[in-house]
Amino acid sequence: MTVKQVSYTFESTLETINHAEEQASRIATAAGFSEDDVMSIAMAVREAAVNAVLHGNAYDPGKKVTLAFDQGDKDLTIVVRDQGKGLDVDSIPDPLAPENLLKQSGRGIFLMRSLMDEVQIKASETGTEVKLIKHFHGDAADSQEASQ
Amino acid sequence: MSMKVSTRQVDGVVVMDMSGRITLGEGSVVLRDAVRELLSKGNKKILANLAEVNYIDSSGIGELVSAFTTVKNQGGELKLLNLTKKVHDLLQITKLYTVFDVKDNEAAAIKSFN
């Protein structure tokens, strides 16, 4: 069984969002995902990082964002955690509802769910944890088997 | 790669040639400032050429929506031209493809304003 784990801790800055996206792109590429999947994974991680920096930690320099990658046999799992007050997912309006289509924000979690195979969000008073999962399939799955 | 915008006038329409990434931070701000400047100069027919925009995130999508409504609220029109596949797909899944007037031919797009 091949398991590769790596984690990073970032400041609550705009640069963190770009760093998170770059790390996701690099790791997903190394894991053997297709170009389209790599872009989807990187974009989903970027959206999670945006939420963590802006809405979770609210740019607070005393709060950190952690990013953890766990590459297993069947999937790549990425966990993004912040130290904010906890995101109330139920309070986010449906971005596809006609009355919300022209709103400027509120599409981040929807995009994560569209781009990944599974998205799990746990919120508490000490922060929000977003777990993003992409399954290996096609070329990525073949690459995984070949490496074992 | 950050975003760049250059503008040109074609038959009374301002074409915004955009390149790079429209994302939270610099890219979104560049787009917002460009649209505000055009409106302040009385330009209300705006064609945003996204042929060289290879990446857009939810903040960038929000900025496009904001630009669209800002121009519309001032009696103008903002249309989109030459979407890349990625941007096209994102506008499809967010159901914004039907909100924006999307064109794939510049000459026809210019004519559609008049």
Which CATH superfamily groups domain B4-112?
STAS domain (3.30.750.24)
User: Measuring CA to CA, how many Å separate A124 from each of A81, A112, A128, B70?
Assistant: 11, 20, 6, 37
A50 at B interface, C-beta within 8 A = yes
CB-count exposure of residue B85 (10 Å: 0-12, 13-18, 19+)? exposed
Q: Do B95 and A101 touch (CB under 8 A)?
A: yes
pTM comes to 0.90
Which CATH superfamily groups domain A4-146?
Histidine kinase-like ATPase, C-terminal domain (3.30.565.10)
Q: What is the mean pLDDT of residues A87-116?
A: 94
Angstroms from B5 CA to nearest CA on chain A:
21
* Tens digits of residue pLDDT in B28-42: 899 999 999 999 999
Domain parsing of chain B, residue ranges: 4-112
Range name among B25-39, B58-72, B91-105 with the lowest pLDDT average: B25-39
ipTM entry: 0.89
* Tens digits of residue pLDDT in A21-67: 999 999 999 999 999 999 999 999 999 999 999 999 999 999 999 99
